Structure 1
Amino acid sequence: MTGPSPTPRRPGRLPAVDVVIATHDRPELVRTAIDAVMAQDYPGVLRCLVVHDRCEPDPTLVREGRRRRVEVLTNTRTPGLAGSRNTGILAGDGDLVAFCDDDDVWFEDKVSRQVDLLERSGAATSVTGIVVDYQDRRTTRIPHPEEMTVRALARHRVMAAHPSTVMVRRTALEGPIGLVDEELPGSYAEDYDWILRAAAVGDVAVVEMGLVLVRWGASQFARQWSVIVAAIDHLLSKHAAFGEDPRALGRLQGQRAFALAASRDPGALAAAAHAVRTWPWERRSYLAGAVALHLLSADRVLDLANRRGRGI
């Protein structure tokens, strides 16, 4: 499968890159994220669009320049991460669009390596690897090209293909892939939903290097169990790939059962049993059962997973 044709541009002109950073009351972290974007060694134009969601915009973040600029916006769409990302996307006009979470930091060669790969491959979308920082321990995780297909992504959410690593052609983003889904409850897994759609449209090119420092442990979704359950239900109803593959379906059912168990929902044990019947080799289902039976602590399971640079 190949992606859409590269965006036409004048000979010798490097693609302009819009970088969307959604933020909510994290003034110090977002400044660090912006500094890393501005410090990229990419010689082309970089326009950083900082979208404030449910908080007052900070005009002191604005920077003016010929090849580097920072603009401050307010989320005018659905409150939350999805609406914020879309506000930034639609405010830009660059050939390429990249995302960065407000608590992540790009390495200085990220943009140049991704632009080069997109130009050479003709792919619509690119991702890189990450370096996970959790409790002063760092773990490098690299996605592989064979993992970036719809079937593989449905079976295994590739956390290494983090949203802060995504770069996509605007023609594909505003065209066949589409914007971020604002109907996902709480914007949970909006990045996963989007990368599934991107993989369905065309190849996802991979820079097999850890080029983004990702801080784990401060996620707004870490323990919003009811939101997680509702979002998983939304994904299951939206993507046929899960219903077509028992392994993929069992994985999401296992995650759903774990969230129910962590929230002490009385239906957790039945949900775990249902997930086991769907795909008996899914470990999350057994962890969910153990948490539901009070044999394990959900917080302890999450901590152990995060220490390995993973999630549930």
Structure 2
Amino acid sequence: MTTPLGIGLPQNHHYNVGRDVPDVARAVEQIGYESVWAYERALFPEPATQGLFGMPGVDWPDSYRSVAEPLITLALAASATERVRLGTSVLVAPLHQPFQLARTLATLDAASGGRVVAGFGTGWSLDEYAAAGIRPFEARGTVLDEVIGVCRAVWGPDPVSYDGEITRISSAVVGPKPARPIPILLAASNKAAQRRVIDHADGWLPLALGAERTAAQWRALRELAAERGRTRPIQTVLRANAEYTPEPYRGSDRALFQGNAEQIVEDLVPHAAIGFDEILIDLQRGPRDAQELVDVAAEVYEKARAAGV
């Protein structure tokens, strides 16, 4: 049985968002991809005040300069497609006002016929929190909890009521409602975040870190679910960040998912064997334009299916 495959939409600065997002979304749906995804990067500090992922001395990639807003990106994709799911991987939820975010996602789901997947994370950029955070960086986990609670309330039956630290809704009709319950998936690597997945979310959005390490994280999450008495399934979408090169990458220092289509699929195969529900491949780093991105997506899809993924 093959693994459903998703693709990252062209949000980075060398793409024309208004033209390329609908064109790429339409093309990858025709290729056979089952979902399209958008990520969030709100700003690019210059000079850098903090390393990538908060790691000292690690530069931010140039691709983070001017990343298109994820929900607008998905709305553009929704208008050009009929079948593919529309996911965020990830939306930095504590940068958004919970009530407005819940309404926007509900409207997008209603408009698209029930295709939204809400992938949330807490983020790591102090600069983004200074510019847009609803609460200080240190409160990001608490804010994420409230975002999830507000979404569940707003997407549920009327009248809606909610009494939180940020959001207070006193018995109101809130619409439109989503076409179906929107699944909430969380990026989570530490124990506290994993508990949030188990207790409050529908699923998990891991980052591919090598098959052995990724499989170990998945085992640990399932063990935690058993400890905490969760019986309902955990939906899983694995994110693979690729860096495409037209020719095979020859160096001994080849990073995971770096290289041509064959090398990307070579890394994909052992990750697919872990048994995730879906794999998202973000290929937008490397292709020079939208047409090359579509061509690479088609080649990766064909080779992945030929390899049994």
Q: What TM-score comes out, normalization by structure 1 length?
A: 0.29
Q: What TM-score comes out, normalization by structure 2 length?
A: 0.29
